């Protein structure tokens, strides 16, 4: 057996915060944020479960799948509504799903780890999976910290994965540098802390090395990739990685200017937007890669 993506969807909160809005509250400017990050605006608001439910609903509708036929919900998130229970339980209830549900936290790489789990379960156990990435990091950002307050936005993206005769994932590559756990973190009851410069360097190095290894392992060449969908953390990270792995920017999905960094939602959101823009045809090879707190990263090549 194998599996296939049969539906996708996303949800962004209505409220938009522009760079000029932020410049009124702190010592920053539209020019600095655009030049150093590629971000023009971000959407803020809602809870992780609310955004996840809306994205999940859109993906179910697009795939024509009844919620009652979903055997499992996997929610990738680093900003659960509560520490316990898993936020996926609420999403499960709100969508009327009858199977199981669990959360997966690998920060900005979380969606890829969740995708690997979804694929394995759909493939081996003949189960339809609703896979969602949803985050509301704006709740944890210190509004006075200009290094981080300009970066993060809220959002959610979702896929329906169904058992099928086709192979969905051609290969994956993943890694963690646990020694870097103090470079980007949120302590209980506290706000997000980040050493931006070090995270930037590790993101470029780990993403590009991991993707080059993945190309070697799968015998896929950069020219075979129809679309590269990277985690959207900083346009300069995306540009540095694409040049190191020989994928042109025109074959790379970029949503960061409209959304900022939406953590575990950024990859499914960008993928759903690419599909909506008719940038993907059945059989296309797509490269996904994510890097973030941990420091944890993962890349996969999938067949659309
Ligand atoms: O998704 C998880 C992974 N997260 C990331 O990948 C984030 C990775 N890091 C970054 O994207 C970048 O490091 C930042 C965007 C956070 C910062 O950009 P940078 O180019 O590394 O800036 P910097 O820290 O080297 O700071 C350069 C200057 C400093 O001023 P001085 O010391 O040169 O006078 C900063 O104080 O820019 C200043 N600065 C700002 N100025 C205006 C830092 N943040 C801002 C700001 N507005 N928002």
CATH number at 291 reads 3.40.47.10
Residues 187 and 246 placed together within one structural domain of the fold: yes
Domain end residue (candidates: 164, 187, 217)? 164
Kindly give the interhelix angle for 30-37 and 235-245, rounded to the nearest 10 degrees: 20
Catalytic site residues? 108, 231, 261
Residue 233 near ligand 1, beta carbon < 6 Å = yes
Q: Which of 40, 76, 147, 239 to mutate to test the pocket of ligand 1 (most atoms within 8 A of CB)?
A: 147
Bridge-based pairing state of the strands 285-292 and 225-230:
parallel
Domain coverage including residue 288: 169-303
Q: pLDDT by residue (tens digit) across 187-203?
A: 999 999 999 999 999 99
Domain end residue (candidates: 146, 164, 182)? 164
Query: Is 1 within 8 Å of 126 (Cβ atoms)?
Result: yes
Nearest CA to ligand 1 atom 11: 234
* pLDDT of 150 higher than 90: yes
Residue 266 near ligand 1, beta carbon < 6 Å = no
Domain end residue (candidates: 106, 133, 164)? 164
Distance in angstroms between the alpha carbons of the first and the last residue of the chain: 16
Residue 232 near ligand 1, beta carbon < 6 Å = no
Q: Closest by alpha carbon to 162, among 118, 110, 104, 132?
A: 118
Summary mean pLDDT of the chain? 97
Q: pLDDT by residue (tens digit) across 236-294?
A: 999 999 999 999 999 999 999 999 999 999 999 999 999 999 999 999 999 999 999 99
The CA distances from residue 102 to 97, 143, 285, in Å, are 13, 31, 28
pLDDT recorded at residue 1: 82
Peptide bond into 260 cis (omega under 30): no
């Amino acid at each position: 057996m194998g599996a296939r993506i049969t539906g996708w969807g996303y949800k962004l909160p209505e409220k938009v915060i522009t760079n000029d809005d932020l410049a009124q509250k702190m010592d920053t400017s539209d020019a600095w944020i655009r030049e150093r990050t590629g971000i023009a605006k971000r959407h803020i608001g809602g809870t992780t479960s609310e955004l996840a439910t809306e994205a999940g609903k859109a993906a179910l509708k697009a795939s024509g799948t009844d919620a009652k036929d979903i055997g499992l919900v996997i929610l990738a998130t680093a900003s659960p509504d509560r520490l316990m229970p898993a936020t996926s339980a609420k999403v499960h209830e709100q969508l009327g799903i009858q199977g199981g549900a669990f959360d997966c936290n690998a920060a900005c790489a979380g969606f890829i780890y969740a995708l690997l789990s979804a694929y394995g379960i759909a493939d081996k156990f003949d189960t339809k999976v609703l896979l969602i990435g949803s985050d509301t990091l704006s709740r944890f950002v210190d509004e006075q910290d200009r290094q981080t307050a300009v970066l993060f936005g809220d959002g959610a993206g979702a896929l329906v994965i169904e058992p099928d005769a086709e192979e969905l994932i051609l290969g994956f590559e993943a890694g963690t540098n646990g020694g870097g756990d103090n470079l980007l973190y949120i302590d209980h009851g506290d706000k997000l802390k980040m050493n931006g410069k070090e995270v930037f360097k590790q993101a470029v190095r780990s993403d590009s090395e991991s993707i080059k290894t993945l190309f070697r392992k799968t015998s896929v060449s950069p020219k075979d990739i129809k679309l590269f969908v990277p985690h959207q953390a900083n346009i300069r990270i995306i540009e540095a990685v694409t040049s190191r792995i020989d994928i042109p920017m025109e074959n790379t999905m970029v949503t960061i200017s409209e959304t900022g960094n939406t953590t575990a939602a950024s990859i499914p959101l960008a993928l759903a937007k690419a599909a909506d823009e008719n940038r993907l045809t059945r059989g296309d090879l797509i490269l996904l890669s994510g890097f973030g707190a941990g420091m944890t990263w993962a890349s996969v090549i999938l067949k659309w």
